[in-house]
């Protein structure tokens, strides 16, 4: 096994991000020194995946706070709120983004009652580091709880996943791919099937790359092959990640997840969502209230720099879809595996 994949690192007063836009052909590290650079990195998908976005935003908020030049806590909070607004506008669907930003802001507001601006800045960095470290531990717990959701087969099983919910989408280890890692470690896994995940091909580029790094057997399939593979009894279980889950268990994930869930239901294949508690948005009663990001249509009509459609064609490019709770077998969290309608018991 190669060294653990660390998509986000804090080093020498800056953030180091693996540039996921150039994987798997290149491995490059991008230095982030300002909140503006972090906002751009999130928006352009240098870093992506809901938990990773949250961790990155927490560091981005600290980078912005570090450069605020005032000793007045009230003015500091005003400028920090403006920085938070910029970061919060980068990716609207991933609720972890807002969860992390709010946690950092609340830390600042509480500290401002008694602490100096210099002390508040120290606390914000500490908070960002805690969010970072906790995410790794959370993902490891999700992976291990996921073992209890695996079908009881007489031989190692095959698992299909969509998009990338791995180390690259988190602070390390992964959610859906965390289940894969734990299953492989315990000898429960024979092979991963990874959907390509059009239009940005995160499954092709990222999930397969992670599997190769760790020597996990992986078969890459086009998105429209999943039903065929299930019909041929090639898939034992589907596990995907999520960017936001409503209180009733409806889950928003990368576009194509909903259709995959329908196919799994038709073939009696268990369909699980793996995500941390911070991905559950208890303020939303159901998935119809989840905002769906629409991205540049160039992602659809061209691959790389090559256009694949004629001029004069219209395009639609939602980045996510919502899978209804009744298509989800269970939701794997760091607190255990729950049926969608039981998530409400986790509300604090």
Active site members: 243
What is the distance between the alpha carbons of residues 237 and 259, in angstroms, rounded to a whole number? 15
Which of 145, 176, 170 lies closest to 251 in space, CA to CA?
A: 176
Contact 207, 164 (CB under 8 A): yes
Half-sphere exposure of 145 (CA within 13 A, CB side): 23
Measured from the Cβ of residue 300, the count of other Cβ atoms closer than 10 Å reads 17
Phi, then psi, of 260 in degrees rounded to 5:
-65, -40
What is the distance between the alpha carbons of residues 336 and 301, in angstroms, rounded to a whole number? 41
- Taking every pair of Cα atoms in the chain, the longest distance, rounded to a whole number of angstroms, is 67
Phi, then psi, of 346 in degrees rounded to 5:
-90, -10
Which of 91, 24, 60 lies closest to 254 in space, CA to CA?
A: 91
What is the distance between the alpha carbons of residues 182 and 140, in angstroms, rounded to a whole number? 8
Half-sphere exposure of 130 (CA within 13 A, CB side): 10
Residue tagged 């080093």 (tokens): 11
Contact 100, 55 (CB under 8 A): yes
């Amino acid at each position: 096994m190669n060294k653990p994949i660390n998509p986000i690192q804090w080093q020498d007063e800056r953030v180091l991000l693996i540039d996921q836009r150039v994987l798997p052909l290149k491995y490059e590290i991008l230095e982030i020194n300002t909140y503006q650079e972090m906002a751009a990195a999130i928006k352009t998908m240098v870093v992506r995946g809901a938990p990773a976005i949250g961790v990155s935003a927490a560091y981005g908020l600290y980078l912005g706070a570090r450069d605020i030049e005032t000793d007045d806590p009230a003015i500091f909070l005003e400028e920090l709120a403006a920085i938070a607004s910029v970061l919060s506008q980068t990716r609207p669907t991933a609720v972890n983004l807002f969860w992390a930003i709010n946690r950092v802001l609340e830390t600042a507001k509480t500290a401002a009652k008694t602490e100096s601006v210099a002390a508040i800045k120290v606390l914000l960095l500490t908070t960002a580091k805690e969010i970072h470290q906790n995410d790794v531990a959370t993902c490891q717990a999700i992976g291990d709880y996921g073992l209890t959701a695996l079908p009881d087969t007489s031989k190692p099983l095959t698992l299909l996943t969509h998009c990338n919910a791995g180390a690259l989408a988190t602070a390390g280890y992964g959610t859906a791919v965390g289940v894969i890692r734990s299953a492989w470690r315990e000898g429960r896994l024979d092979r991963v099937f990874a959907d390509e995940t059009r239009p940005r091909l995160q499954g092709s580029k990222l999930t397969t790359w992670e599997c190769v790094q760790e020597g996990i057997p992986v078969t890459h399939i086009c998105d429209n092959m999943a039903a065929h593979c299930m019909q041929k009894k090639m898939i034992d279980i589907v596990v995907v990640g999520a960017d936001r889950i409503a209180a009733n268990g409806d889950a928003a994930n990368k576009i194509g997840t909903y259709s995959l869930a329908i196919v799994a239901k038709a073939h009696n294949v268990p369909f699980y969502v793996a995500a941390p508690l911070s991905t559950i948005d208890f303020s939303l009663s159901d998935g119809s209230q989840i905002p769906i990001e629409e991205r540049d249509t160039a992602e659809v009509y061209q691959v790389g720099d090559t256009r694949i459609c004629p001029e004069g064609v219209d395009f639609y490019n939602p980045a996510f879809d919502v899978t209804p709770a009744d298509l989800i077998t269970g939701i794997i969290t760091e607190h255990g595996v729950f049926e969608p309608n039981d998530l409400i018991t986790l509300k604090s």
